[in-house]
Amino acid sequence: MRPYAVQTGEVRRESGVAQGGTQKEEGRAAARQERRRDPARVLALSDGVVAIIITLLVLDIHVPELGRGQSLLDALGEIRPTLTAFVISFILAGMYWISHRDLFSLVRRTDRGLVWLNLLFLLPLCLLPFAASLLGRYDLEPVALRVYGLDLVAIALARTVIWLYATGRPHLLWQPLDDRQRTVGLLLTAGPGLFYLVAILVAGIAPIAGLAVFAGLPVLYFLSITILRGPRRGRAEYSDFT
């Protein structure tokens, strides 16, 4: 028989090898889990979708055909509603992309809930080219204005849910936000939806006023951001809000 000390040493070595193998396997599993939670793929998908949306928006603009006795200036006037819808929608799509980028700059890792909420956010966003095309063709029709407004309300609602979900889970963030930061972000994401509802309500009474709300909201949004980031406030905690 082998000495007891030799047997004990072999058992310890085998136990150490098994334990080392278990730790390596756990490390590989943790690495796979971390790669799955990396927000890079979510951002890549969202960026690609927004790029396609912007491309589809511009494809709806066509060079006008001149009728008999019609001047080019008159023909360009006929596509004015399409150009107006394009400019408004392009700026809004840019706002959504920038705010989405800034939100995910706060996100360190994702989970399944955040991934699904991001997909739900992309759903009404993908309908923006259709709504813009409808608005460009029937710019003063209440139905077209309401469809456009409802799509924007759905986008604002989805953005709000993502903001509340992500900022309410500190383990997903690089650094937790305080209550004031969450409130300001909530106002910036949910606030536009209230104005869109107003535009929907007035569309049947004053279509031009409804269209003016859609056109004026980006101006109000950028004005709010400028004031929020102004030198008088000098609040660094709002530097990532756009």
127-174 pLDDT per residue, tens: 999 999 999 999 889 999 999 999 999 999 999 999 999 999 999 999
Q: How far is CA 3 from CA 8, 10, 11, 126, 182, in A?
A: 9, 11, 13, 75, 68
Do residue 88 and residue 23 come from a single domain? no
pLDDT tens-digit profile of 65-101? 777 777 888 778 788 889 999 999 999 999 999 989 9
Do residue 52 and residue 28 come from a single domain? no
Domain that holds residue 143: 39-238
Do residue 180 and residue 132 come from a single domain? yes
Do residue 205 and residue 146 come from a single domain? yes
Do residue 178 and residue 99 come from a single domain? yes
Question: How many structural domains is the chain composed of?
Answer: 2
Do residue 131 and residue 102 come from a single domain? yes
